[in-house]
Structure 1
Amino acid sequence: MIKKAVIPVAGFGTRLLPITKAQPKEMLPVVNKPIVQYVVEDLVEAGIKNILFVTGKGKQAIENHFDINYELECKLKNSNKYDLLKAIKEIDNLGNIFYIRQKEQKGLGDAILYGKEFVGDEYFIAMVGDTIYSENIVKDLIKVHEKYGCSVIALERVPMEEVYKYGVIEGEEIDEGIYKIKNMVEKPNVEEAPSNLIITGAYLLSPKIFEKIRQTPPGKGGEIQITDALNLLLKEEEILGVEIKCKRYDIGDVLGWLKANVEIGSEKLPEFREFLKEFVKNL
């Protein structure tokens, strides 16, 4: 059983400046919840209750959000605002959440390495904190792992002209939507990309990945890339990819954030759906 997850949230969110100058990117609201709450809820729904945030400077809002606010709860109770009280108390009970600070921003691979002592010798989930999925893909990762017993990463098929923004896999389909990965390339030029199947930022990983991250030199952008560490792991262990069948909201820039609010808003708040459609149509 997969029991632990690591969520790196130490990045500056530079593509969202100036919004993220003092506000963590992961705490930006999508409809009525911060981005990272969607991530945590999916993990908890999939049965993963022990979650480690790898944080950095200026990320205290994440800790405050998942902590108990006694004064606020008391005020809501005294004001008979029980629906709001229920909503924030549900956040208080979202798993067992731990924090460690990444001392220097050296890439996603380095951030995941901070989870080594927390994870120990178990398979675990790693999820980036700025991506929301319309369905619970953590369950899909676990299902494939239970069948094949190896590391599994979430994949998405994108237009070829967009592959330069992502890690891209080369692989062979061994079952419907499941790929045996042969190689991974971080942010390749379009003409050099082995496919248009990209790594979405959701991983179920063998504990051996920590050893491979330590062996990984800085790569693209001078950072320790998890893609490079996974290629090292591939030499010793099988890694599978599962193609997601749902909508992914990559909230790395302002446009992605706006789109997520409109689309998820119309999905989660059906009473506003027709208004949103009409509003957007008349812009």
Structure 2
Amino acid sequence: MRNASVLIALFLAFTSTSLAGAQKSSGPPPGLSAKRITAPPRPAARLLYPADAKVAETEVWTDLGDQRVVRNVVRPTLEAVLPDPAKATGAAVIVAPGGGFAMLAMDNEGWPVARWLADHGIAAFVLKYRLNQTPSKEADFLEEVGKIFAAAAKGEERPAIREDRATADMSAALKTVRDNAARWKVDPKRVGAIGFSAGAMTTMQAVMTAPAKAGPAFVGYIYGPMLPVTVPANAPPMFVALAIDDGLFGKQGFGIVDAWRKAGRPVELHAYERGDHGFGMGRAGTTTMLMMDEFRLWLDSRGLLAPPH
């Protein structure tokens, strides 16, 4: 497990109201440091809303340990990572990284996931969605993290993390891929999404709010909240993955899975013994390393990876 994965998981844990009192320090966790970096070149990324070309850029790229995260996104983008045409299946997946709506863990839950999917014949589209604002300067950002830890230590409740614009961005990303299906050689009926943590929450909200046939055709719901939800009548098939020792959601039970079952909608659950929160594509030494293969096999078992005729 890379150090930055631990830091991201800790950051998320202490933006959650459910873990109040778990940390006894009044500052950031030991070893938490942030360094401003230049935005990496991503020539395949396109503005989700072309009109945003006139919007002033505010995003900040930060190195947390050995992982790059982006903050203060106001100009969402969609980045296509396409498979070799010889093995393309026609399926497409929007990839929504997590980060507590304060940042996006691009190196943990974004680009590597998209590359893996493309390597297995699935067109992937990394969604850099809009976020809650955080202090621009890294020192101020860390101070904000310290306040979060201090509040947790005192047992103070904090507002639930959310960002409604992220949901709008997911819906727009789904429409963009479907509108450009011929260009990207994907089947508009097989456009789904996989979201991690806050990205899973974003994906779920798109399911809840989308008109018929406008939401994802299938969902990968990776270590998102497990509490029950009201399931729409047209809810898509859902693949759920969580480590039982997840410090954020591991003690919530599997209410969202039960809700899908009671609504008569297809759902598959993978509950791993160990892995904690933020395991990305898998934490070394745990069975979470199987998650991406299991997701692919689930898609295949549902006929979603049948090559186009």
Compute the TM-score of the two structures, normalised by the length of structure 1. Answer: 0.30
Larger RCO (CA under 8 A, 6+ residues apart) = 1
Higher normalized strand content (fraction of residues): 1
TM-score of the pair, normalised by structure 2: 0.29
More helix by share: 1
